[in-house]
Amino acid sequence: MMKTVFIRAIEAPVDEKAALIRDAARGAGLARFEADLSTFSQVPRSPFAYWAGDAVRACFERYPRFGRTGRTVKQGLATADDFRFVRLMTEAGPPAVQCRWFPFAKGGAFSRFYADVYLLVDWSDDGARIKHNLNDAGKVRSNVWMLRDTAANFFFRPGLTWPRRTNGLSLRMLPAGCIFADKGPAIFDDGDDSRVLLALCATLNSGAFGALVAVQLARTELAQSFEVGLIQQTPIPGLRTEDTIELAQRALRSWSLKRRLDTRTETSHAFLLPALVQADGNTFVDGALEWGQVTASAHAQLDALAAEIDEHAYRLYGISAEDRHRIEQGFGTSGEPEESPDDDDGDDSDEEVAEVDATPLVTSLLSWALGVAFGRFDVRLATGDRGTPPEPEPFDPLPVCSPGMLTGDDGLPVAGPPSDYPLAFPTDGILVDDAGHPRDVVRAVLSVFETVFDDASARWHEAADLLGAPDLRAWFARDFFEPHIKRYSKSRRKAPIYWQLATASGSYSVWIYIHRTTGDTLFRVLNDFVGPKLEHEKAKLDRLTQEAGGNPSAAQRREIEQQETFVGELQSLKTEVARVAPLWKPNLDDGVILNFAPLWRLVPQCRSWQGECKKAWDKLVAGDYDWAHLAMHLWPERVVRKCIGDRSLAIAHGLEGVFWHEDDSGTWQEIRIDDATVQKLIQERTSTTVKAALKDLLSAATPMASKGRNARGRSASPWTSAPKPAPAAVRATTPETALDEATLRAVKGAIASVADGASKADVLAATGLSDGDWNKAISTLLERGDVTRTGQKRGTRYHAGEP
């Protein structure tokens, strides 16, 4: 039978193409391919895959298609509103997991055999909120209406899943109890046989199966979209019992090696301990080298297992050594995967990199130590007082809490330290950056070091040196929060669990662990921490001023100046916390960012997060997130009325039975409700205290962005980077010149936001004005009668309108 000759010169450099074509024409070289054109039709859609070899194409006739016997391949759920219906597994409150929120396999980055399922989806009442979330045309926004059989018969079953769109096909285990996504389709064995699933995972991750997939992608290779139909129509040979056992063992070993590396990732279901606690080493640098060796060894074993699986799979498919050689040279396969722009998680973990740089590992260690200080993680795993839990099976349901967390017999976080626990932690979830305070966050983290390391002091200083920080207090104050946000961000969600509420300069901050927050948390912050701290620092300022007298030295002036600025920042912090506390009602079902949104002013040390929280707050105010509990809490007059025409919102707020009923045909109909009943529902959900606080918050002046850098060398906060105000004894006046009206309005707004009258320090902290601009602004406002002044010297206060 005559064959057609093809010469592939596309990859060759321009100056080598002629020689390559000449050699291929003479019958030599890897660039020459001979193909029987009639065999192209053996492959679905007859792609022009000349490079595949006749024997490879013949597999499509020799073996049954994957989706025909004993196996099912299914497309999964697309919520159409992930911001509302999807959470990170570290974000939702543990009691709500497996009750409202369920593990959600949504694709992610390339990873064979193992990848943590780090997302949750709202599937309470069989996804009722998603099913009744309608578009403007009255149609269901999600694809859930297409998934009746899938939801009923395949959700929560063990299987295999893969990211639908990446540069490389990568199958991994799907544990029981999960829901899978449109971006993460799934494969099921009719008998849910774990050994069969493991063997299938090995086969589908083999070079042979990948080549057969690539043959079909010949015309659409750049898309790299591994659709359900593509997998269904790829041929697979029958597996004998001995094949199943052998392939399953290699897949299980591969899964175990990759999961072992993930036990260092604190956001993973597999987390045990940070790498620098798991690894041996007299120093952190030695520990990093040891962990690098552990990782390198695991990768070498994974490579060897992959080679064994490939050898077995090529033999099963009957692919010749010549065809295999061409496949492995890269003809028709995508080779090693590169990050795809459509990956759902380009920021996926670096856990598979053989790290020898101690710095990121030290950052991870300190993050864990802070978690121990808050009672999130169990320090006894590090001390040996608690044994390492046994490794689960690949298809076991995922735990609500990772084995590294401090939990009770029910598997949920404990409310307080167990009786024999070596460390105390705050049961209200509040620590403070305040040296000498019983709740000092840095002292709490140091206590963790002292519990874990015999040479705690040396390790403490080594950590600071590796991070390039003068000391770890400074590092926690200015450098911890941004990498913490990154650590707790995936799938376009940002959900930090430790919140740092700080003064403008970051010189004082309160730390809150969100999984211990209640409606009283901000009142505790105000009354037990910020308020007493402010009074203490005011007393110190009075003492310094009295000691300096009327003729202070230069050193005394500097000290008074610094103290006055600090007092002003503390006053601004107190004002903001007091403004939000009456209306703040945390509910983690809303998601971290919406719970944080009203507090956006209190994170000046992290401009990017502040901006995102401000954006979320603005959308919440505008009514974009009326499904949130916080929206009903603040605007019941708006949200209750929306529930009348939106069953999804009615379900979210427990009003489904009031506004909706299901008729005999199974169709949901609105219930006609008189306005008096609606008004009563609104009244029952309205608090005058909350409304007053909301009015105050919405009318507060927006902090002005400032320019330059502050004294610590960090980017200036939007609250202030202005020169610090001089003490009263040395202030100089500045000639008046006109300022723009926007600045005057900002100053007047800052004054109005302080009920008992604002000090100069209050206004400077809120607006970022320089001393000169302050003098110009206050002179203009006083002259126009827009503000009034009471008191003298340090007791001077400014009021909007009449005092």
Separation between Cα atoms, residue 734 and residue 716, nearest integer Å? 25
pLDDT at 581: 96
Average pLDDT over residues 298-305: 98
pLDDT tier for residue 16 given thresholds of 50, 70 and 90: confident
Average pLDDT over residues 590-619: 95
pLDDT at 329: 67
Q: Which of 326, 664, 414, 376 is nearest to 513 (CA)?
A: 376
pLDDT at 115: 97
- Strands lying side by side in the sheet with 119-122: 86-88, 119-122, 101-105, 179-180
pLDDT at 691: 96
pLDDT digits (tens, 9 = 90+) for 401-458: 999 999 999 999 999 999 999 999 999 999 999 999 999 999 999 999 999 999 999 9
User: Does residue 177 carry a pLDDT above 90?
Assistant: yes
User: Does residue 82 carry a pLDDT above 70?
Assistant: yes
Calculate the alpha carbon distances from 163 to 166, 174, 229, 343, 727 in Å.
Answer: 6, 12, 14, 8, 62
pLDDT tier for residue 714 given thresholds of 50, 70 and 90: very low
C-alpha angle with apex 742: 736 to 744, nearest 5 degrees?
Answer: 40
pLDDT digits (tens, 9 = 90+) for 112-156: 999 999 999 999 999 999 999 988 888 899 998 889 999 999 999
Domain boundaries in the chain?
4-62, 612-699, 728-800
DSSP 699: H
pLDDT tier for residue 724 given thresholds of 50, 70 and 90: very low
User: Does residue 803 carry a pLDDT above 80?
Assistant: no
User: Does residue 708 carry a pLDDT above 60?
Assistant: no
User: Does residue 569 carry a pLDDT above 90?
Assistant: yes
Place of tokens 């983690």: 588
pLDDT at 773: 81
pLDDT tier for residue 705 given thresholds of 50, 70 and 90: very low
pLDDT tier for residue 330 given thresholds of 50, 70 and 90: low
CA 295 to chain centre: 24
Place of tokens 């899978």: 180
Q: Which of 175-179, 345-349, 628-632, 633-637 has the lowest mean pLDDT?
A: 345-349
Decide if domain 728-800 falls under CATH 1.10.10.10: yes
Task: Please provide residue 353's backbone torsions phi and psi, each rounded to the nearest 5 degrees.
Answer: -90, 135
Which string of DSSP letters, residue by residue, matches 449-513?
HHHH-TTHHHHHHHHHHHHT-S-HHHHHHHTSHHHHHHHTEETTEE--SEEEEE-TTSSSEEEEE
